[in-house]
Amino acid sequence: MTVEELFVAGLCTQCGTCAGICPAAAISLSWECRIGYRLRVDQQACIDCGSCLAVCPAEGFDYTEGAGWRARNGDAPAPDFLGPWRRLWFGWAADEQVRYSGASGGVATAILQGSLASGDIDAAVVCRVDPANSLAVEPVLARTPDEVAVCRGSKYNVAAVNLLLRRLLDEPGHYAVVGLPCHLQGLRKAQDRYVALRDRVAFTLGIFCGWTATPRATEVTARRVGLDADELTSVRYRGPGWPGGMRLETRAGVVRELPYPAYFDRLMYAYTPPRCRLCPDALAELADISVGDAWLERFKGSAGVSDVIARTPEGEDVLGRLVPRHLTLTEATPEEILRSQVDTYAMKRPVFRGRLWLRGLSGRRTPTYPGISARPSLSDRLRGVGDLVNEVAYRAVGDLRFRRPAPPA
């Protein structure tokens, strides 16, 4: 199959890896509110080198053999959901303002700002809301702590992060790459093929993921609170404070704020890209460092605390250099980390197995993840059916109640 055929088959993760590494610039991603990005291949420009298929994570990722990832990393045996690890902590930014301004303790911001300040990296691949289109998220290279600060906070919207891999191939330097599991799957495949990417990516920072959303989810949320999505000039999905919330602002200065995670309800989940439901990795196990909200009772009322997982020697070294000036870390156990992600597991793995089973029943091509159990139990199958019914029903309700305005004649 070609990458365009994988897109049509509904297997594209919209990570941007193929377009980011294409030597002929033959692959384009065009933004659309309803789906995120539409992939196209210019057959006239394509040189049929096969690079795009080699780095594409659409058909899955081998967690047992892929670059020997699990065999190469992790000092201790770990439950499948946790993935390989060397050290586990709960953490937050040492600077109180950075901590308060972040999504969950400002850990990602502190790691990037500290690494830039020390000269360990020259820039970081991060995401920001597109200044020209508040319903879109774009990847950028942040070269200063202030540029990192502009990009802080979660973005519950598709982002083709790996479009910037071309910049990393063309511009010598040392980079950090921040991404979700799908972005890291594409990056690790690209690193297998390109020595320059292995040399230039100093470390990867993986963000826990319980699914993202299409731009349509943000549009519908805006319309639910009485705002014209086309008039939005500012969208913030999390922060400041923990757990923070969504903030929407229009050109006229009208502001609506919605608490997190309450606004991420069944209607918003209905606009999750279908391919997200076929991914088992919630805790970004292909990263050097993984971070995400620590959802434990004892942290309620705090300014934000993250689970922090050092998965590789490189990740462990980065964190060691940042304590205590930039980061505060306190040891955690595997049981505590897993307990903080009980809801994430319940949403991610059973639905993954159930939806994968349903897709197989329909005779469609399915991604495979050797090393991760995909065999569905009866309850997984029921979860998959229930999730599909909810997705279809709530999306129909959303599309009926909040129709997209017709384009101008």
Q: What is the pLDDT of residue 282?
A: 96
C-beta neighbour count of 232 within 10 angstroms: 20
What distances in angstroms separate CA 268 from CA 129, 152, 271, 387, one per listed residue? 18, 22, 6, 13
Helix axes 107-118, 313-322, angle to 10 degrees: 80
Q: What is the pLDDT of residue 286?
A: 95
Q: What is the pLDDT of residue 119?
A: 96
Q: What is the pLDDT of residue 239?
A: 84
Position 371 confidence tier, pLDDT thresholds 50, 70, 90: confident
Q: Is the confidence at residue 69, as pLDDT, over 80?
A: no
Q: Where are the domains of the chain?
A: 3-214+268-398
Q: What is the pLDDT of residue 328?
A: 98
What is the C-alpha separation between 195 and 67, in angstroms, rounded? 13
The identity of residue 298, as a single letter, is: R
- What's the rounded mean pLDDT across residues 291-312? 96
Residue 211 C-alpha from the chain's centroid:
8
What is the C-alpha separation between 361 and 352, in angstroms, rounded? 14
Q: In sequence order, which residues have a C-beta less than 8 Å from that of residue 278 and are 6 or more positions away?
A: 11, 352, 355, 356, 359, 366, 367
Contact 62, 370 (CB under 8 A): yes
Which token pair is 207? 């963000």
403 or 98, greater pLDDT = 98
Q: Is the confidence at residue 33, as pLDDT, over 90?
A: yes
Q: Is the confidence at residue 8, as pLDDT, over 50?
A: yes
Q: Is the confidence at residue 73, as pLDDT, over 80?
A: no
Q: Is the confidence at residue 404, as pLDDT, over 80?
A: no
Q: Is the confidence at residue 42, as pLDDT, over 60?
A: yes
What is the C-alpha separation between 108 and 117, in angstroms, rounded? 14
Q: What is the pLDDT of residue 66?
A: 47
The identity of residue 328, as a single letter, is: T
Q: What is the mean pLDDT of the chain?
A: 94
Q: Is the confidence at residue 271, as pLDDT, over 70?
A: yes
Q: Is the confidence at residue 25, as pLDDT, over 90?
A: yes
Position 70 confidence tier, pLDDT thresholds 50, 70, 90: low
**DSSP secondary structure string for all residues of 215-239:** HHHHHHHHHHTT--GGGEEEEE-SB
What predicted TM-score, i.e. pTM, was given to this entire model? 0.95
Strands 175-179 and 123-129: parallel
Strand partners, 289: 205, 310
pLDDT over 90, % of the chain: 92
What are the backbone angles phi and psi of residue 395, rounded to the nearest 5°? Answer: -70, -35
Q: What is the pLDDT of residues 122-134, one digit of tens each?
A: 999 999 999 999 9
Q: What is the pLDDT of residue 257?
A: 96
Preceding peptide of 77 cis, ω within 30°: no
Contact 226, 307 (CB under 8 A): no
Q: Is the confidence at residue 71, as pLDDT, over 70?
A: no
Q: What is the pLDDT of residue 408?
A: 58
- What's the rounded mean pLDDT across residues 111-131? 97
Position 80 confidence tier, pLDDT thresholds 50, 70, 90: confident
Q: Is the confidence at residue 57, as pLDDT, over 60?
A: yes
Q: What is the pLDDT of residues 159-200, one digit of tens each?
A: 999 999 999 999 999 999 999 999 999 999 999 999 999 999
